Amino acid sequence: MRAERNPIRKRNLTGIGRVVVCCCLLVAASFDVHAEQAKRAPETLRPVQEFVQSFYDWYVPTALVDNPTPAWIRAIREKKTVFSPQLASALEEDFSAQNKSLGDIVGLDFDPFLYTQDPGERYVVGSIAESSHGYLVEIHQVKAGKKSEPADVVVELSGDAGHWCLVNFHYAQGKDLLTILKSLRRTREKHT
């Protein structure tokens, strides 16, 4: 005795099968779109990466030279156009205050672009993320062929490929250069 097929059941399975196939095609198409965006993203970020890496390729050898003028002050004087006016002014003010102080440390006592007192020989750009005002670029020191983790510094910049501008430098524990400079200024004002 042959069992008769239920035509309603067959149609439901076919309908479910179609839904499954359609869902699979949509998921596959979605992966293709995301893969294509991921391929394009590094190209759109390349000018940011090249600008920041170029700055560090110039800056690190400057920081390694023993000189009475800190490398970071030479950087804002020699490459003033790559810094925001607010950042350049705050760094100049800090340096001037430190020079006027006799023996006391009243300003920065570390390299603000490398976040160290003992610079390494090489720094490289890591991850780049868009922010509300531009980009955040991780900077890693390279020792024995290995990148430091986490990043030593996160550079904040704004602008576009026509003119990038270094706006701030972010450090561990939520610290950042502009806030540190403001705090140092307030401390100096209290003691004068």
Rounded-to-integer distance, Cα 13 and Cα 17, Å: 6
The pLDDT, as a whole number, for residue 32 is: 41
Rounded-to-integer distance, Cα 135 and Cα 58, Å: 20
Domain 44-190 - what CATH class?
alpha beta
For 7, 8, 9, 12, 74, the CA distances from 3, given in Å and listed in that order, are 12, 15, 14, 18, 91
The maximal CA–CA distance of the chain, rounded, in angstroms, is: 108
Question: b/e map of 28-50 (b: 16 or more CB within 10 Å)?
Answer: eeeeeeeeeeeeeeeeebeebbe
pTM: 0.76
* DSSP conformational letter for 136: E
Rounded-to-integer distance, Cα 6 and Cα 3, Å: 9
pLDDT tens readout for residues 119-152: 999 999 999 999 998 999 999 999 999 999 999 9
The pLDDT, as a whole number, for residue 61 is: 97
- Averaged pLDDT of the chain: 82
At 44, the pLDDT band (50, 70, 90 cuts) reads confident
Task: Look at residue 174 and tell me whether its pLDDT is greater than 60.
Answer: yes
Domain locations in the chain as residue ranges:
44-190
Task: Look at residue 191 and tell me whether its pLDDT is greater than 70.
Answer: yes
Token couple for 18: 């179609």
pLDDT tens readout for residues 68-108: 999 999 999 999 999 999 999 999 999 998 888 777 777 89
The pLDDT, as a whole number, for residue 29 is: 39
The pLDDT, as a whole number, for residue 12 is: 47
